[in-house]
A = this chain, B = another copy of it.
């Protein structure tokens, strides 16, 4: 069983929680906890061995936790996701492969693209692909996308190189449930064309950042980041090419963490129990 808890911090939380587990004859395999002192916030992820009534256990836990605590006993094991794409295949293909072999930790319900170039790879994997091109009125397109997503009722929406900026109205429908991969080590090179910016600045490393999407472009809580070294011999195009590898890896890592209930969000930061 997996148990995740987020609440105000107070003395004795660990003792109270572990006492409940102990009296339920549940053996702790792994206990990860973090206290954000500045925010006075407590985060915990437990893996326990044994059998227990989930509802009863959650109720017992809630009894010792402060008001407003977030607690989940055995969060949905196989999450459902919808993937949004534009033209680049690398992140999507990686997700489809893992989905196909049952190692994604989620089921891909469908793919939504604003271009049709990635329809074929979805067909190869028998995943529905919906083309929703952008109209002049962006709000119309977004409403269409929202309707499609909601018809599938996913746990998360994954922007696998979706190259359009989503409006706050869109994001409001899926708070802390939209995951984006941005092709720079944020906060460097937010916005458009990060590799061109990186090339012009002459940096010696480029990166990628997976984050939850909030109202502010590229300002949401960061889940994972990585970099690779570059040098003077890289053109902006070379950076784009090399960057794809790291984008794929970072998004894969972020999904593994999120889908495995290892990521907690509080305000604009994440707690990640890797």
A101 partner, pick from B35, B89, B274, beta carbons under 8 A:
B89
| Residue of chain B at shortest CB distance from A198 | B187
| A214 beta carbon closer than 8 Å to chain B | no
Say whether chain A's binding surface is mostly helix, strand, loop, or mixed: mixed
A202 partner, pick from B31, B221, B252, B274, beta carbons under 8 A:
B221
B188 touches A204 (CB 8 A): no
Known: A35-B29, A124-B124, A186-B203. A18 touches B14 (CB 8 A): yes
A15 touches B11 (CB 8 A): no
Residues of chain A from 155 to 208 with CB closer than 8 A to chain B in the complex: 185-189, 201-205, 207
| Residue of chain B at shortest CB distance from A93 | B97
Known: A35-B29, A97-B89, A97-B97. A187 touches B201 (CB 8 A): yes
A188 partner, pick from B30, B34, B188, beta carbons under 8 A:
B188
Residues of chain A from 122 to 138 with CB closer than 8 A to chain B in the complex: 124-125
Closest CB in chain B relative to A267 CB, distance in Å? 9
| Number of identical monomers bound together in the oligomeric complex | 4
B93 touches A121 (CB 8 A): no
B222 touches A274 (CB 8 A): no
B31 touches A22 (CB 8 A): no
Interface of A toward B, CB cutoff 8 Å:
11-12, 14-16, 18-19, 21-22, 25, 27-31, 33-36, 89-90, 93-94, 97, 100-101, 121, 124-125, 185-189, 201-205, 207, 221-227, 231-233, 245, 249, 252, 268-272, 274
- 20 new A-B contacts at CB < 8 Å, known A89-B101, A100-B121, A187-B201: A12-B22, A15-B15, A15-B18, A15-B21, A16-B22, A18-B18, A19-B19, A30-B35, A30-B233, A31-B31, A124-B124, A124-B125, A185-B185, A185-B227, A186-B188, A202-B270, A204-B225, A205-B227, A227-B227, A232-B269
